[in-house]
């Protein structure tokens, strides 16, 4: 199972939210590149970069942060937040991302996302499935779409989606463990899916449990920033 550290960006700074609430923001570092270099030094290969300003503004805002990271590290970066047009996607790929996450637009403009899958390849597009009370939430988790999360994922898998990053918003930033039950139900319905678990990871044991249910990857955010999982822990996981 891949371990993917997360950097969320507001005003060019590395932050974390609790349960997707922009009012519950903690700034951890004013220099995201510095944080990315720490991850790379620990032997990590991937990075989940989220433009929270972009998610709220409905357009990509912090692509320069992405460019700075991809120009100065060898991390394989997936980028999400604010992607609405094919030009947005091209800008992000040109800035060095290897994958993009289609979140809100996958709910509101299905045809555009299917076009991206066709144009860029299914391996380049990650479906963002952010769930609140079992339903998909959009626009930085501010809006409830009313769509059942598992149906939403299954329908996109039938259209060729291979990768899905799923966040249980109730778990995100709370350090109370990931949503094992939700992920188990998703993988029971769509066993060939490459599921990336996000939200709630608080310990190495949480990561082991996600591996046991066959998640393809797990995103670690606040647990690192709050010192629950240390850089040396990442090194030991890679060695294991």
Domains and their CATH numbers in the chain: 2-239 (3.20.20.70)
Q: Identify the band that residue 21 occupies on the pLDDT scale cut at 50, 70 and 90.
A: low
- Return the percentage of the chain with pLDDT > 70, whole number: 91
Report how far residue 208's alpha carbon sits from residue 193's, in angstroms, rounded to the nearest whole number: 19
Q: Can you give the pLDDT at residue 195?
A: 98
Which 8-state DSSP code applies to residue 66?
A: H
Rounded mean pLDDT of 28-48?
A: 93
For the cut 70, the answer to whether the pLDDT of residue 173 exceeds it is: no
For the cut 80, the answer to whether the pLDDT of residue 87 exceeds it is: yes
Q: Identify the band that residue 170 occupies on the pLDDT scale cut at 50, 70 and 90.
A: confident
**Nearest 5°: phi and psi at 39?**
-65, -45
Evaluate whether 220 touches 5 at the Cβ level (below 8 Å).
yes
Residue of 19 and 75 predicted with greater confidence: 75
Q: Identify the band that residue 29 occupies on the pLDDT scale cut at 50, 70 and 90.
A: confident
Q: Pairing between strand 135-138 and 143-148?
A: antiparallel
Beta-ladder partners of 26: 16
Active-site residue list? 8, 130
Rounded mean pLDDT of 193-221?
A: 94
Q: How far separated are the first and last CA of the chain, in Å rounded?
A: 11
- What pTM was computed for the model? 0.90
Provide the strand spans (E) within 71-216: 76-80, 99-102, 125-132, 135-138, 143-148, 163-168, 194-198
Q: Kindly state the tokens that stand for 132.
A: 């609140």
Q: Can you give the pLDDT at residue 168?
A: 85
């Amino acid at each position: 199972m891949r371990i993917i550290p997360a950097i969320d960006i507001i005003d060019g700074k590395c932050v974390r939210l609790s349960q997707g609430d922009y009012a519950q923001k903690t700034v951890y570092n004013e220099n995201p590149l510095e944080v990315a270099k720490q991850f790379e030094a620990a032997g990590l290969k991937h990075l989940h970069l989220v433009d929270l300003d972009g998610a709220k503004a409905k357009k990509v805002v912090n692509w320069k942060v992405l460019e700075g990271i991809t120009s100065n590290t060898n991390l394989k970066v997936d980028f999400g937040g604010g992607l609405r047009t094919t030009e947005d996607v091209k800008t992000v790929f040109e800035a060095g991302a290897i994958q993009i996450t289609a979140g809100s637009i996958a709910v509101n403009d299905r045809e555009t996302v299917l076009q991206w899958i066709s144009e860029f390849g299914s391996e380049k597009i990650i479906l963002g499935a952010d769930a609140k009370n079992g339903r998909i939430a959009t626009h930085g988790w501010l809006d409830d779409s009313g769509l059942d999360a598992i149906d939403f994922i299954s329908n996109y898998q039938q259209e060729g989606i291979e990768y899905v990053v799923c966040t249980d918003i109730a778990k995100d930033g709370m350090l109370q463990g990931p949503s094992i039950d939700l992920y188990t139900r998703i993988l029971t319905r769509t066993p060939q899916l490459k599921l990336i678990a996000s939200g709630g990871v608080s310990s190495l044991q949480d990561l082991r449990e996600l591996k046991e249910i066959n998640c393809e990857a797990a995103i670690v955010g606040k647990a690192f920033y709050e010192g629950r999982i240390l850089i040396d822990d990442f090194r030991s996981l890679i060695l294991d």
